[in-house]
Amino acid sequence: MELVILDTAEAIAERAADKIEALLTTKPDAVLGTATGSSPLPLYDELTRRCAAGRLSFAQVTGFMLDEYVGLPAGHPERYATFMEVNLRSRVDMRPGSLHGPDALAEDLQAACAQYEEDMAAAGYCDLQILGIGSDGHIGFNEPGGPLDSRTHVDVLTEQTRRDNARFFGGDIDAVPTHCITQGLATIMEARSLVLIATGEGKAKAVAQLVEGEVSTDWPATVMQRHDDALVLVDPAAASLLTSR
């Protein structure tokens, strides 16, 4: 696992975009895994700029989202399908319908999980997976305590995660869904490359565990230590609890 500390979110976005640009240059029809939340937003801005400048193209790219809330209706502004449409898909030359997410509105959620895993397997899983990290160390919505070999599944969001995400719901934790569908940790680890972005002091403890802690179900992101190509991009605040740099 490679750790890179950069001074600004913009510098982090440029470094992550460099890796994606290199991938799309050599493999225009790559499979890209996308993440939501505030951490990847500067990256999506940078990818949009590079696409407009003709430096890269998403015209042949297939995308798979990490996760989705259960219970939010289609078109809800905080639904992750909406987030990805607004912040990336519609801003670049990615074909409509080429960015996929789990069907969190399905009557049979277990069947939806199995179908999503099957769809990713059929595509060969992701060439590159973009990740953020929760303050409790989750990646995707794989909350602490879950198995490290999990596949796409329904998960229950912890109170900490719901409190962290309440800022997207007007500060109302009761408006944050209690369940989600998420790629499992083993699903995420199928990607050929992982790029994790973390900024801010609120992520410092999770980053310290990710980089320097033992692999543990208590800190799900630590499974990334077992990946052959994992890039962790953080700012000084997120790196502030590391004992060695």
Residues with catalytic roles:
67, 136, 138, 143
In angstroms, rounded to a whole number, what is the distance separating the alpha carbons of residues 74 and 40? 22
Q: Using CA atoms, how far apart are residues 116 and 31, in angstroms rounded to an integer?
A: 14
Q: Which residues contact 89 (CB under 8 A, 6 or more apart)?
A: 63, 96, 98, 99
Find tokens 């975009």 and name the residue: 17
